[in-house]
Structure 1
Amino acid sequence: MKNIQKSLLTLLLLFVFQITFSQITKEKALVKGECGMCKDRIEKTALKSGAKTATWTAETQTLEVEFDTSKTSLDKLLKNIADVGHDNEKYKTSQDVYDNLPACCHYDRTVTFNKNEEKNTPQVITTLAKVNGACEMCKERIEETAKKSGATQAEWNAETLLLKLEFDQSKTSLDQILKDIATVGHDNEKYKTDESTYNALPGCCHYDRTANMEEAVTSKNSEHTASTEDHSEHNAETSKNEKMIEGVKLTKYQAATALNKKEAGLVFNINSKELLKAACCNLSESFETNATVDVSFSNAVTGTKQLKMLGLDQKYTALTKELLPEIRGLASAYGLNFIPGRWISGIQLTKGGSTVVNGYESITGQINTEFVKFNKEPENSVNLFADFNGRYEANIVSTSKLNEKWGQSILLHGNATVGEMDDNNDTFLDRPKGNQINAAYLLDYNDLENSGFGSHFGIQYLVDKRIAGQVGFDDKLPQIAQNKYGVNIDINRFQVWNKTGYIFKGKPYQSIGLMNQFTYHKQNSFFGLRNYFGEQKTYYSNLIFESIFGNTNHKYKTGASFLYDDYNEDYLAQNFQRTETVPGLFFEYTLTGLKYTLVAGSRVDFHNLAGTQFTPRINFKYDFSPKTILRLSAGKGFRTANIFAENQQFFASNRSVEILQNGGKTYGLKPEIAWNYGASLQQDFKLFGKKASWITDFFRTDFQNQVLVDLENPQKIVFYNLDGKSFANSLQTQLDFSVAKNLDFRVAYKYYDVQADFASGRKEIPFMAKNRGFFNAAYSTKKEGKDAFWTFDTTVQYVGKQRIPNTASNPQNLQLPEFSDSYMTWNAQIAHNFNKNIRAYFGGENLTGTRQKNPIVDAQNPFGNYFDGGMVYAPIMPANFYVGFDVNF
């Protein structure tokens, strides 16, 4: 019994001792941080310092800890947390430790938690401000002025235009420092210098005053908002109300054309400012001042244009609208005409492997177009255009705010080509006549700030009619009653789409979004005595979930997609029908380090006709320095060929059509599968004291399978699957630099080596020039505070010789040479802004008058065996001039 009592007494004493000397307590403390990486660092440090549990919340900046007071203390925890970089209510980290944190962890240090410290001690803070300048003399002037205004430290970076300041807030202020800097000649995020002070600066100090200094320093959210960083560098600058999942967000653009330094892939952002440098009546003309994309006429009868990238046809580039499938299937031939230039707010152009999130069809890259939407203030504009050869266009764009959460856009377009022109006297119209009516309505809901929801709805309808062929052809007569060769193309197209997203409360890096689109496309047409009818119904859906692993250096996207295509085509007396259903799953991981970004993704698609397809893609970016960036990419893509819709340029001929089937389920052909590999090096530097950028890239595309279009027999067009090798090598080097204030040059050279094993042996792909040169110059007289100014733009392109398909079996007078002649083209435009609301422009295209001689083979005998309008390698229109007016109200 006594032993039991002793044991109980011992246990009681131990319990009392535990209570007295080993007290477990819970505490809260204020600790500064910014992102998931901060959370990880704070909690791990607290646990290493003796805490049993530690939870830090970014929204409240609060750390909750549980610890044994006999082993550690709150004071010790907070001191250790400060040592690794996080200010808190008791301790501040050193400036060096703070500066060495990753950029996404840089929290606001201008406000302290310690109120006594604010009152009784110097309030030394470190902050960033944006200040304009151009050279070392500017740097010296800015830093000296900042120190005279009370800053203890001042360091200005000419590349980023960021001024790093340290000062005692009880003695001066950021406002005072920036005001004093403006008085000596430097615009900044709060103040602008007057014109006379700016003009008095030395010539080397004259910076670009068109830049927007009101976008203060880098947004502290820009590094860790995984849900909004998918396509362009400007996304990091969007306000919280513009954040959305990929494809649902609203975006804005700053530079006219800029290579996105943050993207792992080679992504160019092209905005409306760039599009205004040329006529840009539709998407096919949006790349006249861009060296990456090649634009050419596809045939001499219908006058349609096609894009080429990395040495391959348009069909191998994914053409999307607001990240939804757009120009594909039956729209391949004429779809570039369905997006008016004045409807475009921006274009994102990706060379090489793009994200797996957007689908499997991209092989050479992706071109995404964004429509104009309501952004802060209502916009209403009217554009009128006319050229000297009988083409007229009108565009109306209106955006307005319905209430605090709803905005709308009304987009209207109409065009008509009424002039009959046969400048080369071959009896065929040099350009088809016709008209188009195109209308779209966009409705946007934005409540991201409160509920986290946002949605975008769109609807578009167009009617497009074009008439081509011989002069005097009467499209009102029945086809069988015609005695002249004619082409009649009627297209009706309807689309409706919706994109809805949700950002999780308290988790700006986590979002979910759903995109849906239905498209109906119908074409009724005939080419001489040949009929072509096509009808396509497409439904597309894409569900995307985005989040992080641990912190925002480890992001991921995953989801599922579904594509339904129903095709019904008649060519001559044959009918071709098929239905494609493609459910798919995807996953993409993004790893971000201090100097590198890795994006690795893959998708699996279960195609009912092409079988299960696995599509991996990877992009890697390494920053040797802020001025030197290396990118590497590799990826796979696949697609099913639409052999009739994609080759309508050859319908205007009397070639017979032959399909060599090999057991595939699309026209008897197997799907096209290709791998693309790329590398690029970007270097920024100073040239003549001005900013310059040089980029060189190389891409190779290897086809595992391809549907070849064989034109080597001039009486036939033969479709068959590749048996052997097919590849495309693309090398491009480009230099962008400023010669003087507001005078910018762009110079580029491209080399293509594109070959395939045809039935008759390995040959160069026809109509692809090996050598291309490009030069663009842009000048503006715009001055700060002046609404009236002139702009001048000119583009010269050199196109080397191209291989022409074999015509040796034709009569001698109808034979074409093996290679075309090289040629040059010259476009130019002058525009004058009378004020903020009125702009007029005048320009010319193909001012060298370069034209292909006799672009139509045997034009005098259009119903004969040798007639062919598809052998086009050069411009077919003479020099053309145009005028236009833009009115905003």
Structure 2
Amino acid sequence: MKLFISKLILGLCLLSAPFIFAQDLKSQFQVKGNCEMCKERIETTAKMAGAKAARYSVDSQTLTLETEGNTSTDEILKKVAEAGHDNEKFKASDEVYQSLPDCCHYERTLQPSNASTSAVVQKSKANNEFYVKGNCASCKARIEKAAKDAGANSAEWSAEKQSVVLDFDASKTSADKILKKIADVGHDNEKYTSTDSVYNGLPSCCLYDRNVALGEKGPNVHFEEENHQESNTSADNQNHGNHEKNIEEVKLSASKASTSLSKKDAGLVFNIDKKELLKAACCNLSESFETNATVDVSFSNAVTGTKQLKMLGLDQKYTSLTKELLPEIRGLASAYGLNFIPGRWIESIQLTKGGSTVTNGYESITGQINTELLKNAKTPETSLNLFSDFNGRAEANITSVSPINEKWSQTFLLHGNGTFGNTDMNDDGFLDRPKGTQINAAYLLNYNDLEKSGFGSHFGINFVKDNRTAGQTDFDKRLAQDKQSAYGVGIDISRFQVWNKTGYVFKGKPYQSIGWMNQYVYLQQDSFFGLRNYSGKQNTFYSNLIFESIIGNTNHKYKAGASFMYDGYDETYLTTPYKRNEIVPGAFAEYTLTGLKYTLVAGARVDFHNLAGTQFTPRLNFKYDFTPQTILRLSAGRGFRTASVFAENQQYFASNRTIQIIQNGGDIYGLKPEIAWNYGASLQQEFKLFGRKSSIVADFFRTDFQDQVMVDLDRSPQQLVFYNLEGKSFANSLQVQWDFMPVKNFEVKVAYKYYDVQADYLDGRREIPFMAKNRGFVNLAYSTNKSEKGGFWSFDTTVNWVGKQRLPNTSSNPSEFQLPGYSESYAILNAQISRNFNKKLRAYVGGENLTSYYQKNAIVDFKNPFGNYFDGGIIYAPIMKANVYVGLDVTF
């Protein structure tokens, strides 16, 4: 089967190549227009002037051309201007413009627009200040250098204002010449638009939002203009001569979605920013998806209180979880690693559903979740966050991001939390969540000199110490386990990380670069669950070298490289040691083809695993834009991983199940690695509703396991059995999400998910436990308009409805310790109100599980924790009732 699918993917690429390469490359230009009549006139004129195809967008004010042979785009744009439409190359005559129908009279004075920020920009536009698009410090250096190369005495670009202030001698150069040079290096401005090839060749951090073009006034971009008369300054007279100076104040309010689906990526990639993370408590990464429909968050244990993520109907272990694109939560960190990334440290999250890029490794099966830490600031900024709930949990975060000089910047991150007091809402004598503390500190150092030397580098170091105690409320950790009658759980974890990413952009070739990433991780866990002990150590070294360039032009990009992974595991369960070393060198290549309406990303990697053998991993992503508002995506790919059966299933240790491993000749606990194929299709449709942007995204994914390590809880309530799959195992996932804004500042997200997840166990095919077939999701977010001082209110509400779930078989237990075959359905309500007093101070209050639904039978036979029927691992719902919290954010 796997050989057939590999051949099928390769065949599709080869069959499509002649057709794809035969297409002419796209060119995009800024053209002024106002209505559908303008659209028809522009497109007809372009085709009559020799364009093979022409597509004009009134919203983005852009004309996309497809040409062939020696057809000149300049000639086409000249004809468009002669028809009455100003563009970046030619201007229509006043006589022709005036002869257009009234509905076609567009605004001939270019105004700014920028959807890449959510700030309110105050702009005083004098003759020496011009709108220029950019995204980061690297853009700033590039823009200012280009301006000086074109003759400017000085240039100062502002990312916040999206403008450059120029000082130049009008006898030696001109603003037009300078802005033309800025466009030539990749930055659109009010006079000129960069070519697609140059823009696409910029580093990924510099790819600003081109969807909102200069001059666009979309539903989420509002302009307020005031004209003031002022006398000229002496500097103005010197540089520009005597004239009446009109200062135009523009208030630009650009609303950027807190969670957005990337339209440029071939894969289904969601970008989550800090605004989304502030909608809920978000104390760590496990709570960062409470307001997101794609990821399911659930408690996995009534004794340890840990949370787990699920995506596409499968457990967290099948999703690649990275930090700064480096492997993060895997191996021994699987159970508790989500708690080690504080929410206030997160700058953004990129979530990919289905097959992700092969450059990031082979372990992704259902997708990838990458977390980026705070590290970008134009000015020094230090923030303090204080958080506490009404059940004894408190935490503090200090983040400081500051530039050291023009090239260097640094970030200090400090987090501490503690859970104090006994929380037992269901009166079963067990803590609903563990007590303990965590200290977490990180330091990041960044170097950026891409424009001059071509080099950039990022260094990070992180240390975590986490100590937790759970079990019965009268358990005393100071006493030995066998010296007291109370059942206790103790978990002590230490983790140390150090990493570096260094890149070089070749001189004169902004599309060509080489990057090298390295990371070392040490993790140690010592834990006990009643009278059973589990401890483990993991040493991991990871290295990844990536070269990126083009074939002919930036419509044909490729990446190639090599990686190396070393994992050293030393585990002990009860008294039995389990040691293994995994050594995995690998190589990969990926090709990206961009056409007028499509993007194809085809990649493959081969890894030489010393225990799992040689593994071939192909992946394919394809995007086709029927229109700019209708996008189809297809994906297919393979992934494999080695299962750490003890670390990944610690939620079942809080029971009296005995563990059995039925070996199958493999070299990892006697088991073979897990291998799966994932296929997906999605359709994204955008449209206007209530005069505002609205979108519907429907996606379907199927995962087929070729090999899988089965976790069998059904053979006996007193057993936990691991063995390799014999037969079929699959997961079908269907999700439909509708986002819209019925009134200004009021965002609504509605989603429905259907899962069909089944596997062939030793005694027959069954549904996977703890997976609801039906789920519903509603998120409502409203914010008031900002005051003059920047203050506003925000209100957020999320409802999650979870259908019934199959529970493990307990029919052989005595009747009083038996559970039903399926759980009941339930709904959870979370809400938060926050008040931004200004840009420096924010306070919030919220509640989790405000419906107070909780699982009443969370622990089987809780009165006898050392008996045969005790089980704290059968969890399908929250174990705590309503919880209220308060918080404060202060920025210095």
TM-score between both structures, scaled by the size of structure 2 = 0.76
| Aligned-partner residue type, residue 262 of structure 1 | K
User: Which of 723, 726, 729 is the aligned partner of 1:726?
Assistant: 729
Structure 2 distance, partners of 1:504, 1:237, is 28
Give 1:463's aligned residue.
Answer: 465
Q: Secondary structure at the match of 2:873?
A: coil
Q: Secondary structure at the match of 1:609?
A: coil
Question: Do structure 1's residue 146 and structure 2's residue 107 form an aligned pair?
Answer: yes
User: Which of 715, 718, 725 is the aligned partner of 1:715?
Assistant: 718
Alignment of 1:289-308 (within 5 A): 289-308=291-310
Give how far 1:173 is off. 12
| Aligned-partner residue type, residue 146 of structure 1 | E
Give how far 1:785 is off. 4.2
Give how far 1:95 is off. 3.5
1:574-614 per-residue CA deviation (whole Å, 9 max, x = no partner) reads 10000000000000000000000000000000000000000
Q: How many residues align?
A: 719
Structure 2 distance, partners of 1:267, 1:648, is 31
User: Which of 279, 282, 288 is the aligned partner of 2:281?
Assistant: 279
Give 1:687's aligned residue.
Answer: 689
Give 2:215's aligned residue.
Answer: none
Give 2:258's aligned residue.
Answer: 256
Alignment of 1:772-811 (within 5 A): 772-783=775-786, 785-811=788-814
| Aligned-partner residue type, residue 764 of structure 1 | E
Structure 1 distance, partners of 2:106, 2:267, is 40
Give how far 1:874 is off. 0.4
| Aligned-partner residue type, residue 414 of structure 2 | L
Give 1:340's aligned residue.
Answer: 342
Residues 545 and 576 (structure 1 numbering): CA distance in 2 closer, same or farther, change over 3 Å? same
1:69-118 per-residue CA deviation (whole Å, 9 max, x = no partner) reads xxxxxxxxxxx99963366xxxx66436999xxxxxx99648xxxxxxxx
| Aligned-partner residue type, residue 95 of structure 1 | K
Give 1:650's aligned residue.
Answer: 652
Question: Do structure 1's residue 85 and structure 2's residue 72 form an aligned pair?
Answer: yes
Give how far 1:786 is off. 4.5
| Aligned-partner residue type, residue 866 of structure 1 | Y
Gapped regions of structure 1 (runs ≥ 5): 1-35, 40-79, 100-105, 111-121, 126-139, 162-171, 177-186, 192-212, 239-252
Give how far 1:625 is off. 0.1
Q: Secondary structure at the match of 2:264?
A: coil
Structure 1 distance, partners of 2:667, 2:103, is 69
| Aligned-partner residue type, residue 522 of structure 2 | Y
Structure 1 distance, partners of 2:724, 2:542, is 28
Residues 799 and 223 (structure 1 numbering): CA distance in 2 closer, same or farther, change over 3 Å? farther
Residues 145 and 600 (structure 1 numbering): CA distance in 2 closer, same or farther, change over 3 Å? closer
Give 1:580's aligned residue.
Answer: 582
Residues 794 and 479 (structure 1 numbering): CA distance in 2 closer, same or farther, change over 3 Å? same
Q: Secondary structure at the match of 1:605?
A: strand
The answer on whether the counterparts of 2:200 and 2:207 sit within 8 Å (CA) in structure 1 is no
Give 1:667's aligned residue.
Answer: 669
| Aligned-partner residue type, residue 543 of structure 2 | S
1:447-467 per-residue CA deviation (whole Å, 9 max, x = no partner) reads 001000000000000100110
Give 2:878's aligned residue.
Answer: 875
Residues 160 and 813 (structure 1 numbering): CA distance in 2 closer, same or farther, change over 3 Å? closer
Q: Secondary structure at the match of 2:332?
A: helix
Residues 519 and 586 (structure 1 numbering): CA distance in 2 closer, same or farther, change over 3 Å? same
Give how far 1:382 is off. 0.2
Give 2:770's aligned residue.
Answer: 767
Q: Secondary structure at the match of 2:107?
A: helix
1:508-561 per-residue CA deviation (whole Å, 9 max, x = no partner) reads 110000000000000000000000001000000000000011111100000000
User: Which of 78, 81, 84 is the aligned partner of 1:95?
Assistant: 78
Give how far 1:714 is off. 0.4
Residues 174 and 599 (structure 1 numbering): CA distance in 2 closer, same or farther, change over 3 Å? same
User: Which of 738, 743, 746 is the aligned partner of 1:743?
Assistant: 746
Q: Secondary structure at the match of 2:286?
A: helix
| Aligned-partner residue type, residue 370 of structure 2 | N
Residues 284 and 591 (structure 1 numbering): CA distance in 2 closer, same or farther, change over 3 Å? same
1:243-285 per-residue CA deviation (whole Å, 9 max, x = no partner) reads xxxxxxxxxx953100000000000000000000000000000
Alignment of 1:493-512 (within 5 A): 493-512=495-514
| Aligned-partner residue type, residue 715 of structure 1 | Q
Q: Secondary structure at the match of 1:376?
A: coil
Structure 2 distance, partners of 1:294, 1:227, is 37
Q: Secondary structure at the match of 1:342?
A: helix
Alignment of 1:690-701 (within 5 A): 690-701=692-703
1:212-253 per-residue CA deviation (whole Å, 9 max, x = no partner) reads x99979973765455667699758799xxxxxxxxxxxxxx9
Q: Secondary structure at the match of 1:146?
A: coil
Give 1:537's aligned residue.
Answer: 539
Structure 1 distance, partners of 2:636, 2:646, is 30
User: Which of 418, 432, 435 is the aligned partner of 1:430?
Assistant: 432
| Aligned-partner residue type, residue 336 of structure 1 | L
Give 2:825's aligned residue.
Answer: 822
Q: Secondary structure at the match of 1:532?
A: strand
Structure 2 distance, partners of 1:335, 1:235, is 33
TM-score between both structures, scaled by the size of structure 1 = 0.77
The answer on whether the counterparts of 2:88 and 2:191 sit within 8 Å (CA) in structure 1 is no
Structure 1 distance, partners of 2:857, 2:102, is 64
Alignment of 1:11-26 (within 5 A): none
Residues 474 and 692 (structure 1 numbering): CA distance in 2 closer, same or farther, change over 3 Å? same
Structure 2 distance, partners of 1:700, 1:366, is 16
The answer on whether the counterparts of 2:830 and 2:849 sit within 8 Å (CA) in structure 1 is yes
Give 1:636's aligned residue.
Answer: 638
The answer on whether the counterparts of 1:225 and 1:509 sit within 8 Å (CA) in structure 2 is no
Residues 366 and 232 (structure 1 numbering): CA distance in 2 closer, same or farther, change over 3 Å? farther
The answer on whether the counterparts of 2:129 and 2:163 sit within 8 Å (CA) in structure 1 is no
Higher gyration radius (CA): 1
Q: Secondary structure at the match of 1:594?
A: coil
Alignment of 1:115-154 (within 5 A): 144=105, 146-147=107-108
The answer on whether the counterparts of 1:406 and 1:446 sit within 8 Å (CA) in structure 2 is yes
Structure 1 distance, partners of 2:306, 2:192, is 44
User: Which of 554, 558, 561 is the aligned partner of 1:559?
Assistant: 561
Q: Secondary structure at the match of 1:357?
A: helix
Alignment of 1:577-616 (within 5 A): 577-616=579-618
Residues 805 and 109 (structure 1 numbering): CA distance in 2 closer, same or farther, change over 3 Å? same
Structure 2 distance, partners of 1:325, 1:228, is 26
Give 1:839's aligned residue.
Answer: 842
Structure 1 distance, partners of 2:26, 2:815, is 77
The answer on whether the counterparts of 2:88 and 2:192 sit within 8 Å (CA) in structure 1 is no
Q: Secondary structure at the match of 2:865?
A: coil
Structure 1 distance, partners of 2:761, 2:588, is 35
Question: Do structure 1's residue 549 and structure 2's residue 541 form an aligned pair?
Answer: no
RMSD: 3.3
Alignment of 1:477-516 (within 5 A): 477-516=479-518
Give 1:752's aligned residue.
Answer: 755
Structure 2 distance, partners of 1:83, 1:227, is 24
| Aligned-partner residue type, residue 437 of structure 2 | N
| Aligned-partner residue type, residue 220 of structure 1 | S
Give how far 1:406 is off. 0.4
1:823-859 per-residue CA deviation (whole Å, 9 max, x = no partner) reads 0000000000111100000000000001001200000
The answer on whether the counterparts of 2:197 and 2:553 sit within 8 Å (CA) in structure 1 is no
The answer on whether the counterparts of 1:601 and 1:617 sit within 8 Å (CA) in structure 2 is yes
Q: Secondary structure at the match of 1:434?
A: strand
| Aligned-partner residue type, residue 699 of structure 1 | F
Residues 466 and 399 (structure 1 numbering): CA distance in 2 closer, same or farther, change over 3 Å? same
1:419-460 per-residue CA deviation (whole Å, 9 max, x = no partner) reads 211111111001110100000000000000100000000000
Structure 2 distance, partners of 1:215, 1:314, is 44
Give 1:132's aligned residue.
Answer: none
Structure 2 distance, partners of 1:38, 1:843, is 49
| Aligned-partner residue type, residue 84 of structure 1 | T
Residues 270 and 143 (structure 1 numbering): CA distance in 2 closer, same or farther, change over 3 Å? farther
Give 1:220's aligned residue.
Answer: 194
